[in-house]
Structure 1
Amino acid sequence: MQRPDRFSACPMVLVACLSFFLLFGCSNDKAAMPQQRPMRAVSTVTMKTQAVTLSTELSGRTSAFRVAEIRPRVNGLIEKRLFTEGSNVKEGQVLYQIDPAPFQAELDNAQAALAEAKAKLPTTRLRAERYKSLVSHSALSQQDYDDAASKLDQVRASITSLEARVQTARINLGYTKVTAPISGRIGKSSVTDGAIVTAYQATALATIQQLDPIYVDVPQSTAEMLRMKALFKEGVVNPKEKDHKKVRLILEDGTPYPLDGTLQFSDVTVDPTTGSVILRLIFPNPKGEILPGMFVRAVITEGVNPQAILVPQQGVSRNPKGQPYALIVDKENKVELRMLTLDRAIGGDWLVAKGLAPGDRVIVEGAQMLRPGTVVNATALDQKPKGDSPAAKAAAKPAKKDAGGK
């Protein structure tokens, strides 16, 4: 009997397998076809112009309104110090007493010599007048009269010299009382009772600083100064007469100083090492809270930009080069990229100098992975459901499960 060929059934099997794969393969391809993605939902903020007061924050240090270094004007011995270190002193108050005895003796001596010279004056004057009459009658030689007249002039000159000597001695005696030239707070004393001092010595006895008002010196770059002048000239920023020179102060610990100051003047010389000029501000300091040498920050009011455009900071991104840009939604609800020129940060917004116009819708939420030209579903940020609204609660409420736990 003939053996059956084991490969005779192969064509039938191959046909069946091919039909199976074609049937189920087509159905799987239909199921795997990608469905159309829904439009991305984004939140936007519509740009509009508004009046914004511009200010600049500069760092600087405080300095005393007036400073006086106390030095003796005569040589002598300090008898007593008449003030408390660190206290407030008044103008004219005696601070040190130098031993006055030698100066009193010098004054007495000068006054005695002056009195002696004045006592000689009447006799010398009468002699000169008598000799003059005798010369006119040829009863006395001319030489004798000339000698008497010269003697009278010498006495008068001696009196003038001695009067100046008396005045000098009186001034030096007054200098033994070292007084305060200004009112203010006095620091530590460099000498004690019994110290020997010399006139106009290099080391000051003490230093007085007037702290009310007080200066604040802050540097401003010339580039910033020129930029502000250009804005004023173009009319972009209008200085306000009342507030243009108004200045606020922030202390070292970050607390604002309660009293406002004013911009006094701007220096006319540029520091070549820093490229900046010094702005001098003046602040009232009635309680002495601000001390010289403190590091502070001054907030200077520049003016008002009546057509400012502010964009939220979350709506601004930067490219790999660090250049700022924003994504906006155009009239066709397509994403468009705009390069921006930013001026400064004001609170949580950026002040835009160039790149945006009133009416532009800037994407502030949902901008991740968006590309220019993408069609989006834009919703104004202020129209989104609030956190406590029914719509928001319904969106946040989890879906109920069926009986099977699905």
Structure 2
Amino acid sequence: MQAQGRRIGMAAGLLGVVLAGALAWGLGARQGEPRAAAAAPGVPVTLVRVVREDLAQNLAGVGTVTSLHSVLLRPQVEGQLTALLVEEGQLVERGQLLATIDDRAIAAALEQAEATRQSNQAQLRIVEQDLQRYRTLIERGSISRQILEQQEAQAAQLRATLRANQATIDAERVRLSYTRITSPVSGRVGIRNVDVGNLLRTNEDSSLFSVTQIAPISVVFALPQESLPRLQPLLGGDTPVSAYSRDGGQLLGEGRLRSIDNQVASSTGTIRVRAVFDNPEGKLWPGQFVAVDLRTGVLRGGLLLDSRAVRRGLEGAFVYRVVDGKAEVAPVRVLQEVDGRSLVEGLEAGEAVVLDGHSRLAPGARVEVLGEAPALALRRSRP
């Protein structure tokens, strides 16, 4: 009996220990729940405001600077190059003397042609005097008409010879003018390919040098064929075009739209466009690649938003806005993107949307606002 009582007492003690542990664990769990809930932070985000501004409507492309006049100077007569009167890179005016070719042989041929004409003129005077006497004699019946007709034919032959002499003289004068090479355009002299003393030949492919017009100058660039409806009404107007360095950072010049090509390139689906720039400082250089902005108009009062705030999903573009401390999805329609900003529909001016912190966001998630970023400014000034 005594042993049985000891076993019952030990079982009762063990049961009490178990119940006390379970009670303590339950109390601890109930006290820990509010601490865990209080310790769960919201998703940290940064907000940005939607702003209403006027936005320039642009068409952007990459173009090549092209001279409006570029001339390769080649000899038109054979001879020795006797002088180069300009330096490489020098600015020259139209009509300015650039180089000379030995002209002695051509000058001698011209003098000979003039002497031949003078001799034929003297012969013609003698024939015309005889012709006048023959006409007097034929009236008196002293000579036959055959003699008169022969004299008239000889006079006509000499007149034709004089015209041929004059044509030869004119041709030699033209050849003589080719020995003085003048600039056909105002521009800059390129690197020369020959030196003084070389014998120039007309059948050689190489040129002496080139003269390229620098100011004004043009830029030819390609735009998608879908741009045609916006381009065509701008022809004949004063549409501004800006040219930037290839990386889009430095403004190189402001010009005007000149023309569009007469057909679309079937291989690329693009159309070529030409803009003309005054280029007084020579920042645009022939053959240079540039980024081009063509301004087609101004959209008044557009809603602009930092493009980093716009997300894209299966149902289209959207943004997260914060309502009562929670993230809410707001669908938007992106009309245009310019310099890191998006022109959108579906929001109101002044609304704050999430700019940074999207990776952990989901609809209905609690957020913690860390601050508000300033609206992103356009990197380039627009009219």
User: In which range does the TM-score fall when normalised by the shorter chain?
Assistant: 0.7 to 0.9
The superposition leaves residues 341-394 of structure 1 with CA deviations (integer Å, 9 ceiling, x where unpaired) of 434443453222x444557553336655333245779899489xxxxxxxxxxx
Matched residues in 2 for 1:53 and 1:26: separation? 67
Q: Which residue of 1 aligns with 2:196?
A: 193
Q: Which residue of 1 aligns with 2:318?
A: 325
From 306, 312, 316, give the equivalent of 1:312: 306
Q: 1:32 to 1:209 in 2, by over 3 A?
A: same
What letter matches 1:370 in structure 2?
A: L
Structure 1 vs Structure 2 CA RMSD: 3.6
1:127 aligns with 2:126: no
1:9 matches 2:4:
no
Rounded Cα–Cα distance in structure 2 between residues aligned with 1:67 and 1:88? 13
1:179 corresponds to which letter in structure 2? T
Q: How far apart, CA to CA, are the structure 2 residues paired with 1:256 and 1:322? A: 39
> CA 1:365–1:75 in structure 2 vs 1: closer, same or farther (change >3 Å)?
closer
Superposition TM-score, scaled by structure 1 size: 0.77
Deviation of 1:70 (Å): 0.9
Between the aligned partners of 2:194 and 2:18, the Cα distance in structure 1 is 115
Q: TM-score, normalised by structure 2?
A: 0.81
Distance in 1, matches of 2:61 and 2:192, equals 35
Conserved 8 A contact 1:71-1:200: no
**What runs of 5+ residues in structure 1 fail to find an aligned partner?**
233-238, 384-406
CA distance in 1, matches of 2:3, 2:68: 123
CA contact (8 A) 2:85 2:98 kept: yes
**Match of residue 108 from structure 2:** 105
Mapped partners of 2:367, 2:199: distance in 1: 89
- Equivalent of 2:278 in 276, 281, 284: 284
Tell me, yes or no, if the aligned pair for 1:82 and 1:94 is still in contact at 8 Å: yes
Number of the residue aligned with 2:297: 303
Q: CA deviation at 1:111?
A: 0.9
What is the 5 A alignment of 1:6-405?
A: 7-13=7-13, 15-17=15-17, 19-21=19-21, 23-34=23-34, 45=48, 47=50, 49-199=52-202, 201-223=204-226, 225-226=227-228, 228=230, 245-252=239-246, 256-257=250-251, 259-319=253-313, 324-329=317-322, 335-352=327-344, 354-358=345-349, 361-364=352-355, 369-373=360-364, 381=372
CA gap of 1:50–1:251, structure 2 versus 1, over 3 A, is closer
% identical equivalent positions: 25
**Residues 52 and 304 in structure 1, CA contact (< 8 A), matched pair in contact too:** yes
CA positional deviation for 1:24? 2.8
**Which has the higher mean CA deviation after the structures are superposed, 55-64 or 363-372?**
363-372
Contact 1:107 1:170 in 2 (8 A): yes
Task: Compute the displacement of 1:106 (Å).
Answer: 1.0
Structure 1 contact 77–99 (Cα < 8 Å) conserved = yes
Q: Structure 2: give runs of 5+ residues left out of the alignment.
A: 375-383
Mapped partners of 1:326, 1:213: distance in 2: 47
**Contact (CA 8 Å) 1:265, 1:280: kept in 2 or not?**
yes
Alignment partners' CA distance in 1, 2:315 and 2:199? 67
Q: 1:255 to 1:361 in 2, by over 3 A?
A: closer
* Separation of aligned partners in 2, 1:120 and 1:288: 62
Question: CA 1:372–1:252 in structure 2 vs 1: closer, same or farther (change >3 Å)?
Answer: closer
Distance apart, 1:30 and its partner CA: 2.6
